Structure 1
Amino acid sequence: MDAARDPAAPPDGRLPVAVVCGLHGDARRAAVRRLLATVPGSVALHHDLSTAALGSVLRTVRDAAGVRDTGRAPLVSDCACCALREDLVPELLRLADDGLTRLAIVELWDSVEPKAMAEVIAAHNGDRLLLASVLTAVDPSLTLPCLGNGDDLADVGLAAAATDQRTVADTWARQLEYAPVLALVAGEDGSYGDEEDRALLAQLHPTARQIRVADGGALAEAAFGWGTGFDVEAAAARQHPACALLPQSADESGVVTYVWHRERPCHPGRLYEALEDLCCAAARSRGRFWLADRPDTLLAWDAAGGALCVESYGPWLAALPEAAWESVPPVRRAAVALDWHPEHGDRCQHLVFTSPGLDTDGVCRLLDSCLLTDDEYAAGPEAWERLAPAFDNLLEI
């Protein structure tokens, strides 16, 4: 590796750790190989969760020359992902203690999401480890097919536990949107997808740095985190529906991002009836919304592959007594200030839809039809709360 581009190791001697994830297995492995070849003294650690049926997870440690060590970690509570959590940090500490490893690369198994693993590693950011970066490896031409794949992970052999109910689409969306760096790998034809693929990727995660794996120096700098390290709290805040930095409106190469922002609650029954059409309208949609019958509850919307997940994220800030605001993270208070309404506070509708060929007018008309009518709105909050609930089954109440 060229000395001028050789990223500096932490001055306190901690071992930098780079997490590389992604459902695009070939792209992920290519990114790891490039890092091993570019950074002298780098070591990759991988846990193969596909061996869980045998009662354990296969651990492999390798460097640029090949496999250095293998071992097995027993399942924890019949959960392969739990075994990964239990085994990961001791292995990283062992690498830190050998004094020979310059960069530890944690190559996550296909469906493992980076957030949980990043937080496990960051919890041990002490005198021996430093979580330096999180990268998602991407083949741009596979972005849309993965977002459109509503298959359960269990049905395609990628479930991390017997209770894993995630789909290919929602798992890929979270992998893509969590990492601040996307490591791009060319497809079989040598291209980085077509114009539509690249526009979709840019609109799904507009703030991400895109680095081509072929540029080993730039990839290595990203893996070392440019010397700043990885902030798991900031990363979590970027995905929290109350303060997420959601994409803005865009229209490029046939890919459209539409932002629906309103300051009136939705009628629970009409919105529920529209869910199927809304979920199928876009490859990806997410954000926060406000139901008239749940005036104090911030609800998160997360849809990909034609499937929707609705979750309660606690109260809107306006529903809390002012004394409780001090316990709210500053990033959320800052986000609230941008949406504050003199009557409703931070209660609002903020949903973002991204897809090739998106019918923005149709999505807008359908969503607007779900808002309270003028007469319903004028009836006031007490009448709103008496509306028949429609989301109880989605919220598992």
Structure 2
Amino acid sequence: MSVPVVIVSGLYPAVRSALVDRLLAEHPGSVAVHHDLREVTTGRVERVVRDAAGVLDLHEVRLAHGCVTCTVREDLIPELLSRMGSAPLLIAELWDSVEPRAVAEALAWHEDTVHALRLTGVLTALDAERVTADICCGERLAQHGKLAAAGDERYLAEVLARQIEYATAIVVSGEEEEDVELARALLGHLAPTTPTDVLGTALPSVTGTGIDVEMLGARVDPATAQLPCDAQTEEISTVVWHRLRPLHPQRLFDAVDELVTETVRSRGRFWLANRHERLLAWDAVAGIVSVEDTGPWLAALPEAAWEMASPARRMAATLDWSPPLGDRVQHLVFTGPDLDRNRILSLLDFCLLTEEKALAGSDLWAGYQDPFASVLDLKETPA
């Protein structure tokens, strides 16, 4: 029978470690494996293995390429497999800025773990006192000493958002009840379908059936993401913009700064008139925005190509389907403090083509200047 494995992620070492301690105490004989990546840029990683009684093993790992992928493949997976014979639960405690998705997929799909280990959960540990400020932090990881690899250019808030949104459960810790309640209110907007518990109360079950990693990824992938709904919780707002008409590229480009600086978190899928065959992803946090081409809309593909799409992709397309546009849709969600809902909706509606121009068709749209081209048309060049 396979051994359960739970991933514990989080930017906050003290809270994350406390959650691991709880899991070790509640599951006697369990083992936690943690890789300290503070010196990963030099190719050096320190592996710490512990149980409820303390540290079992401390070992320096040298990697040919200092990165999270190498750490998981070359050391985490072999270490977990070596410990599975005597442990009723294995815990993979991730370094501060490691995003759990890559680790979850590696554990679930590696040829040596498919039958030996089963991933039962991805828990994210949060410090209630800091999370509401950090989700607004526009600084890079390097400024906080939390690089996960050489050349890591990610932002603190970007990593935090992904740790929150990918988790199967979130555990919050805080000394002040006001901080905890504010953190839980924020999480209710960012990840409304994810269970949230307070450290010190009952924890999520981590020894049951395995989770479906493919479906977990589909929850956050732009084409299939389960986006939050309109909501208002005291001072926090979530505004959903859902339309069908195409967007004018220049008008949207001119509105980007205002949209991302007045909101804390926004994401979704959209289409530009001059790129009517391409599903574009919008991802913004703490004032930093990313716009990415994720591939064609299913409506732009031959019907036979639907069979090659994942069930989640086909389901999302079916739910969004409206003739003659197919699955093309404008679906963006914005979260922040006391958002001016009418202003955001009006600003985005202004970016749409008029009904007359929308009916004119793609021959007219192709002539629009596209300020997004410098981002969307980037091609990889040989090193």
TM class by smaller structure? over 0.9
Distance in 2, matches of 1:194 and 1:32, equals 19
Match of 1:31 among 19, 25, 42: 19
CA contact (8 A) 1:49 1:57 kept: yes
Match of 1:126 among 114, 139, 144: 114
Equivalent residue number for residue 7 of structure 1: none
Letter aligned with residue 79 of structure 1: C
1:242 is the counterpart of 2:223: yes
Distance in 1, matches of 2:171 and 2:66, equals 33
Q: Match of 1:333, SS?
A: helix
- How far the C-alpha of 1:379 sits from its partner, in A, is 2.4
- How far the C-alpha of 1:303 sits from its partner, in A, is 0.5
Distance in 2, matches of 1:16 and 1:245, equals 27
Equivalent residue number for residue 61 of structure 1: 49
- How far the C-alpha of 1:194 sits from its partner, in A, is 5.2
Equivalent residue number for residue 154 of structure 1: 142
Equivalent residue number for residue 265 of structure 2: 284
Range with greater deviation from structure 2 (82-91 or 302-311): 82-91
Aligned runs of 1:305-316 on 2, under 5 Å? 305-316=286-297
Match of 2:89 among 94, 103, 106: 103
- Give ranges in structure 2 of 5+ residues lacking alignment: 379-383
Equivalent residue number for residue 372 of structure 2: 391
Letter aligned with residue 223 of structure 1: V
1:21 is the counterpart of 2:4: no
- Could you give the per-residue CA deviations for residues 287-340 of structure 1, whole angstroms, max 9, x where no partner exists? 001001101000001100100011111000100100110111111211112211
CA contact (8 A) 1:135 1:223 kept: no
Letter aligned with residue 205 of structure 2: A
Equivalent residue number for residue 116 of structure 1: 102
Distance in 2, matches of 1:212 and 1:371, equals 43
Letter aligned with residue 101 of structure 1: A
Match of 1:203 among 189, 192, 213: 189
- How far the C-alpha of 1:204 sits from its partner, in A, is 0.8
Distance in 1, matches of 2:144 and 2:26, equals 34
CA contact (8 A) 1:141 1:192 kept: no
Match of 2:354 among 353, 373, 380: 373
Equivalent residue number for residue 200 of structure 2: 214
Letter aligned with residue 386 of structure 1: G
Distance in 2, matches of 1:267 and 1:30, equals 50
CA RMSD of the aligned region, Å? Answer: 1.6
CA contact (8 A) 2:68 2:98 kept: no
Q: Match of 2:217, SS?
A: helix
Distance in 2, matches of 1:61 and 1:341, equals 53
Equivalent residue number for residue 86 of structure 1: 74
- Relative to the length of structure 2, the TM-score reads 0.94
- Could you give the per-residue CA deviations for residues 255-308 of structure 1, whole angstroms, max 9, x where no partner exists? 111100000111111111111111112111000010011010000011001000
Equivalent residue number for residue 139 of structure 1: 127
Equivalent residue number for residue 223 of structure 1: 206
CA contact (8 A) 2:98 2:148 kept: yes
Equivalent residue number for residue 65 of structure 2: 77
Range with greater deviation from structure 2 (112-121 or 78-87): 78-87
Equivalent residue number for residue 331 of structure 2: 350
Range with greater deviation from structure 2 (79-88 or 304-313): 79-88
Distance in 1, matches of 2:28 and 2:38, equals 30
Q: Match of 1:239, SS?
A: coil
Distance in 1, matches of 2:283 and 2:42, equals 34
Equivalent residue number for residue 247 of structure 2: 266
Distance in 2, matches of 1:300 and 1:236, equals 15
Letter aligned with residue 152 of structure 2: D
- Could you give the per-residue CA deviations for residues 80-102 of structure 1, whole angstroms, max 9, x where no partner exists? 55234321100001001xx2211
CA contact (8 A) 1:192 1:198 kept: no
Distance in 2, matches of 1:305 and 1:245, equals 21
1:303 is the counterpart of 2:289: no
Q: Match of 1:193, SS?
A: helix
Equivalent residue number for residue 381 of structure 2: none
Equivalent residue number for residue 275 of structure 1: 256
CA contact (8 A) 1:196 1:255 kept: no
Distance in 1, matches of 2:139 and 2:321, equals 39
- Relative to the length of structure 1, the TM-score reads 0.91
- Could you give the per-residue CA deviations for residues 365-393 of structure 1, whole angstroms, max 9, x where no partner exists? 11111111234223221111111111122
1:334 is the counterpart of 2:320: no
Equivalent residue number for residue 188 of structure 1: 175
